[in-house]
Structure 1
Amino acid sequence: MAKPHGIKTSNRVRNVLCALVVSMAVILLFLLSSVFWIDNNETFVTVHIASCLIALAITGYLVFFLVKFHKGIDLINYNANLLAKGSLNISDILSSKTKGLETLCIAFNDMKSNLLSFTELTKTNIVVISDAIDKVSKSVNNSYKGNEQIAASMSNVADKAHEQLKIVKDTLDSIYNVNERVVSIEASLANIENLVNCMVDSTNLGSKNLDDYYSQMNVIANNLTSTSGFIDNLNSELKEIHQLGELIINITDQLKMLAFNASIESARAGASGKGFSVVAAEMTNLSDHTRQSITKIKTLLSNVSESSDNVKNSITSCIESYDISRELFSTIKDSFYKIKENADILSADTKKVYSEASVISQSTHEAEEKGQNLFNTSNKISSETQEVAAVTQEELAGAETINNNISSLKNMLSGIERLVRRFKTAVVPVEAVSKKKLKIIFLSPLDHEFWVGVRQGVLYAQKELAAKNTEIEYIGFTQSNTGERIAETFAEYLDKGCDGIVCPGFTLELVPLIDRASQKNIPVMLFNCDLPVPSKKTAYFGPNINEAGTLAAEFMIKALNGKGNVAIFRGSLAISVHKARTEKIKERLKKLSKIKIVEEMEASDNHDVLYNAVKGYLSKNPNVDGIFTTGGGITGAAKAIKELNLVGKTKIVCFDFDKEIFECIKEDIIYAAIGQDPFGQGHDPIIYLYNYLAANEKPESDIIWTRTDVVDKHNVNDLI
């Protein structure tokens, strides 16, 4: 990286030595000529005068070179002394101020930058490692306590696991017995279901037979009723026959009387009446026989009538009995149908119970299998619990070892901190511990890697002041309108109460707020950007904006070899940092007639805005040789140059840098980036405030400059 500069320096030193030799040779010739040429020779006088003039010119050049050379040596020596004392917070040495010592200058800057980077990275890592150690320590302590509790509990767990194993075994045996009983019940239910089915079939058949029997009984009852009617008719007819017999008897009595009269008349008639006498006798016989027959018939009719009455009475009794039986049989039939219905319900319920019993049997079987698995698992848990207990004991021993290692790591970290303190890269907090609890508010943007570096400085300050009764509250803003939001938050904390505030001076809205803070005896430190008007701030800590603007112009002059067209893409002039940088760039470049500012445009601080502005302008004006950007969005300008194939032709000089900027420097898109110590801007204002609040130690000045760093192609590889 430094080889070309080494060659250049060697050539210059060789040239100086050659000039000295020639000068000494001329002087020697002059002296010799003075000895051998005593006469007033005109040739000698001419040579003598020429030699003197050459010697004077060479001597003047040598004197000028040696003065510049010694100034460069003094500058490097001065910075080397500061470096030897541990003061790393110094700006880079410009190679233009160390003619003939460029390689040494670059090497010194690289060494200082590397030490600074190492120290600040170490501080950042100290914060990270310290936080990690604290978290690990807390975690290990919690783990240790947890393992102790686990170890204490594992014995009980092992006993409980053994008891659980026994309970599971007993439960498994019970499930096995239940399963056997369920199987038996299932078989019994199957038999009951068969019996119930048979009973249902029988009740169905019985119901049918009862219906048939009931029908037959109704037929018999109807027949008996018909027979009773027939007998009634028979009795009526018998009565009529009996009445007819009475009539015949009366007739026979009359015949007999007639026969008697006839016999009397025949006796009177005598012989002529013998025929009548015979007729009368026959009629008397007929009447007697008829009477006898009718009497027998009446007797028979009386017997038949009496028998008929008995039959009727029997039939009536049968009918009454049948009516009673029919009612009773109807009740029996209803009962039988109820039995049939209940039998059907019983059959359905039996089937349902049998189905449920099957399900229970299957579930019991599954429970038995799962119980067996549970028994196996419990047995495994019981054995593994012993292993866990042993492992827990090992964990306790391991945690003890980790605790010892953490203690060693803390001691090592303390040693690193003591070593880092030897390098004075920042202001140091006073030894005094604040008697009251202090709260310092730090307000900052957080939308760029630069502000991430600021936050790392804040975190280191937090660690330094953690044991000094001080709380640092960092509030980062990732959205737009940062100045307005910082002012709003500033006002909120004035109302909430705090002991000190640190913020960038982005907006004039802070001026009345700082006045209010002063009235409440709350000191305010500004960083990164000072207010353009007077205020009651305690101090400003940040970059020397004027110096940075001039330095940016110097690097552009070097990039363009002192001639070309440049454009300035700046941020709002309402923000003092953009205004100061722009003015100093213009002020320096106006002194050079061969460098012309062809454009000044407000388009910085946003990647897309700057990309569109640069691409649009360069598309119409490709003859621009250099571009200044005074704020963020730098990669947008780099992207535009790359897309327009202007890499190596149009150089960029910017402010602030990050990893993306480093890559653009390597690609020769960005020539140089001017840095401003983000870590220190996050750290030092807090420490200044603490020293003021805890020990009434005011800052050495109301304006404190940070160091200025420059990254270009000569040192970019050391930072990636």
Structure 2
Amino acid sequence: MDLKGLQSKFYIAIILSFFIFVPMVLSAFYVESLAILIGILFFGSALFFIVLYMTLKSMLKPMIQMEKATNEVASGNLSFDESGEMGELSQSFDQMVSSIHQLIQKTNGLSDEVTISSDELSLVIKEIRDISDRVTDSIRQISNGSISQTEQAKESLGAMVNLQETISEVSEKVLNLSNVASNASEEAEDGKGYIDQNIDQMAMINESVHKLAKFIEKLNSQTSEIDNIIEVITNISKQTNLLALNASIEAARAGDHGKGFMVVADEVKKLADESEQSANQISSIIHEVNENALQAVDYTKVLTAETDKGTSVANDTSKKLLNIIDSIQHISSEFNTLYELSNTISNHSTNVSELMNQTIQISEENTIEVETVAASSEENLASMEQMQEMSDRLNRHAKDLRLYVSQFDRTKQFKLGLSLPTAYHGWMGALVETTKKETLKHEHMDTLFLTSKNASEQHRDMREFLDADVDAVVILPHDDSVTPLVEEAYSKGIDVLILDRDLNTSKYTVYLGGDNEETGRGSAEVLVDTLKQEKGEVNGRIIEIKGVQAPISDIRRKGFINMIEKYPGIELVASEFGDFDREKAYKVTKRLLKEHHDAEFVYSHDDDMTMGIVRAIRDLGKENEVRILSCAGMKDVYKMIKNHERPKILVSVTYSPTMGATAVDFMTKYLEKKELVGNWTKIDDKKYIIPGIKVTERNIEKHYDPNAKW
């Protein structure tokens, strides 16, 4: 029956009531018997109430059915089929319920998208905040540097003014020195004239001495000749004296006849004696003259040597004076040049002072602008914090909406709570994306897909799952702190699949993850093989960047350590957590490489951290010194391996980013009691492993996909 039928019944009831009450009213005027009147009134009233009852019953029945259907909808049951007497109203109600059901399905999907998107937005805002923090710090440093630069410029300007004054003093002194040098040059020229005159006089003296020496030598020669003559005279006087003696003897023999000849002989003898005496005196005098002449010759030789020496010294003095004059003239020229340069420097320093004044002015203006930018940056940072808070509220409201709306959908066979860390890039971003796509394939499963930025948010999400009475939970823990909630869920009969990061408890249904021990061992094996090939011996220094404080990091480290412990030459010099965060890995690695400058390798627990490690190595200029061992199988890392980029990444052990989708598939089969067959290896009833592959330069072509999203 539709609304028009109800309306017809209502009109018929009114007409019947009219035909019942009109006769009753008329009978009151025409029937005289009170008993008959009472009977008519009683019969009419009874008939009226019977018609009214039947009419109301036929009208209220579909209303009751409507109330029942509305209560079902209110309780969240949208799967019933209500038809029958409601007719078109029932069809309209069914259409409304169907529309509500579709709306709920869309709302579920949209709330899931909003939840994930708001989580991703919150993460993006956090990264932008981090960048803004760094930018703000840089701006503050620039501002401080600008202020410092301004102060230094002012100090430099003061120093430049002092320099100008000093240059002026130097210029003045250089000019004085130039004048002194010019005067010295003139006086040196005058001194050279005197020396030239002295040289001429010395030459004349030398010439006179030479003439005198020749004259004395000639005189000495003449005295020698005189001495020879005197010797002849002496010999003659001796002969004459002998002849006189002989004449006297002959005169004595002659007697008287010889007396006259005797007298002559005596006189001759006297002359001969006198001549001999005179000759002896002359010889004595000549001998003295000769000796004096010889001494004079010696003296003239000494004088000649001294005059020659004096002339040589005078010539040397003249030459040196000429050199001194040339040097003084050169110094004078250099002083003139220095004076010109000092003037030029003074002019330039004046220009520099003007430029420095302009620089100070610009620097002060820049400081004001930088401070303005810094203030704007801080305001922007505050806005980002507000956006962060708004995004967090949106995420919380979206999660609440998703949990609330799920109460109205009872068409699904199972309800699954899915908790993953928030991410929009890297390995974890790929995990979230592929997991979301997998949930859409299972239409009979109502999946409450919640992502969380930290452990405290994941705690709230787990509590929501418990309150929503989910049949199963798939959780990738942030850390061990979620263990009590996992144990509580398991104790309530909720199947719990722990994904990737194992917890220190046995109260869970199953663990599914990559082979973390093989991941560490595989990296160590590649390290050992590389060292053997390059050095012929296994030794090296390694820094380890771990993931988070959870069993996953312990297991990866165990596989790596167990392998390298076989080789004492390999030394692990440092090990710190990077929290699977690219930025933190960058900061930690940069600090550790500075502390351990001789480190040769970095072992990274995750490819996303590896990209931060790469940046740290490049910042320090160690691209050719440090190499990386990594894992996860991220496209950016594969690309570096393929292109032989520096720093060199020796290996990336695959760690499937689709394991979230694998976990959804596994739990679906588990709940449906189907055979547990998939891309996993069973270790025991509670542990399933997804094997990894060592990807190096040798097999990179098989694994690198340039079109991959992760």
Q: TM-score, normalised by structure 2?
A: 0.46
Q: TM-score, normalised by structure 1?
A: 0.45
